[in-house]
Structure formats: C-alpha cells, structure tokens
C-alpha cells in the first residue's frame, strides 16, 4: 500500500485545483508482469444533484452508480465539517485524474512528478521499483485504457489529517521490453482488468490545498 494524489500536482484544471480535488495512491504498478494501476482515459462519474443530509447539515452526492460506500459517509461528513471547501464530486473526479498521472509518472520513471504527488513512504516504494527496473534495463509501454469506476470506500478525519480511500476499477494495456527493446511480457492489444485501492491525505488546517497519495493497495 503506498503510492487525494499529491495528487498530481494536481493539475490540469485539477492542477489548478491541485490535487485538492484529486486524490489516491498506491505503489508498484507496472506491468512487470503488469503492476496494477491503469492510466486512464477518463470518464466523468455519473453524479446527480446533492441531496441534503438533515442530520449533518451537509450533503453528499447521490449517483446512478454507487460512488460512495456507506462506510465512508460519516468520515466524509467529518471532513466536510472541518474543510468547508471540500467537494466530494470534485474529489472523485480529481482522484481519477491523479490515478492516471501517478501511473504515467511511474511507468515513465518520472521521479520528480511522483515526489510531488506522493508522501515519502509511497515515493520511496515507487523509487525502489523504478531503480530495480532500470538496473534490469527494462522499459514499460503501458497505457491506461479506461477507468470503469472510482468509488470512495472509506474516509476519516484524525484531526487535522483527513484521509479518503478510493477504489479504482480500470483496464490497463501493458508491455515490458528488455534492454535490447525485445518484448518480454504483456501486450498492447489485450487490456488487463485492475483493481486498486488508494488512500489520499491532507492536513485540513494547512494552507496547501493539495492531497497526497498516502497509501496504495490491491482490492
């Protein structure tokens, strides 16, 4: 578990929102035989207008597809109470963007981008995997085909640290080449179904609105 996304420098609109809207995390995704986090071709989540929650005075998005597990609702409300600028729908969109950005950086061996998106432990795990790959002379030609679903499965606030865990179900096309450019694994024509669970974290009291990838795991 390793690799909320600083989330991506969080960029591109989310860069603008800077990970503030993006989250997520995990480590060791590469198809080496296909480490499982896919770079996405994104698809916005289907979200309806928020329905107010009378007991909390806050609202959580309702969707045609389940995007928030019941187990995460109380934690999300606590985060919303502590950070009035937190928007669950934007967070899910940002998490999807961050997922693709982190995977892309890992596959390319872009340590600078990863360091900005992940906490120290997650970055160290990615760095070690990249170093091992470089020592073997291998390169990855992976592609995030699509993200089928990004669902918030857990959330908590341990003042002042907020954590949101997102499960990503996605398809990744992965290819591994040796130092001579010979294909030694994977295929760009057959996508592999992947299931990752990334946790993003942020200090709700900090002026920095960015979330960082705090943990990664497989579902």
Q: Does domain 8-218 have CATH number 3.10.450.240?
A: yes
Q: How far is CA 128 from the centre of its chain?
A: 19
* CA separation for the pair 197, 57 (Å, rounded): 29
pLDDT of residue 46: 31
Could you tell me which of 158, 23, 140 has the C-alpha nearest to residue 79?
A: 158
| pLDDT tens, residue by residue, 132-170 | 999 999 999 999 999 999 999 999 999 999 999 999 999
Domain extent listing, the chain: 8-218
Distance CA 167, CA 160 (A): 23
Check residue 10 and give its pLDDT: 35
Average pLDDT, the chain: 78
The residue among 23 and 167 whose pLDDT is bigger is 167
pTM summary value: 0.72
pLDDT for the residue numbered 67: 85
Q: Would the pLDDT of 66 be above 80?
A: no
Closest CA to 43 of 85, 4, 99, 87: 99
pLDDT for 111 beyond 90: yes
Assess whether pLDDT exceeds 90 at residue 217.
Answer: yes
Q: What pLDDT does 61 receive?
A: 52
pLDDT at 116 over 80: yes
Instruction: Determine what percent of the chain is predicted with pLDDT higher than 90.
Output: 64
Over 60: is that where the pLDDT of 175 sits?
yes
Residue range 63-84: average pLDDT? 86
Q: What is the pLDDT at residue 59?
A: 52
Mean pLDDT of 180-197: 93
Q: Residue 38: pLDDT band by 50, 70, 90 thresholds? A: very low
């Amino acid at each position: 578990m390793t690799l909320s996304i600083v989330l991506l420098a969080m960029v591109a609109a989310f860069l603008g929102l800077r990970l503030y809207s993006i989250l997520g995390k995990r480590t060791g995704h590469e198809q080496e035989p296909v480490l499982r986090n896919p770079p996405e071709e994104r698809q916005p989540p289907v979200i309806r207008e928020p329905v107010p929650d009378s007991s909390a005075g806050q609202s959580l998005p309702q969707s045609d597809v389940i995007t928030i597990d019941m187990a995460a609702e109380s934690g999300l409300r606590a985060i919303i109470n502590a950070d009035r600028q937190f928007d669950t729908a934007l967070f899910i969109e940002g998490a999807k963007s961050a997922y693709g950005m982190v995977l892309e950086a890992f596959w390319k061996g872009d340590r600078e981008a990863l360091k900005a998106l992940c906490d120290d432990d997650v970055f160290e795990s990615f760095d070690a995997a990249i170093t091992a790959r470089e020592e073997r002379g291998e390169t990855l030609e992976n592609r995030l085909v699509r993200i089928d679903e990004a669902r918030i499965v857990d959330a908590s606030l341990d003042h002042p640290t907020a954590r949101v865990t997102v499960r990503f179900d996605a398809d990744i096309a992965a290819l591994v080449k040796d130092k001579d450019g010979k294909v030694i694994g994977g295929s760009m024509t057959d996508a592999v179904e992947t299931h990752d669970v990334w946790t993003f974290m942020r200090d709700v009291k900090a002026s920095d609105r960015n979330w960082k990838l705090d943990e990664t795991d497989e579902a």
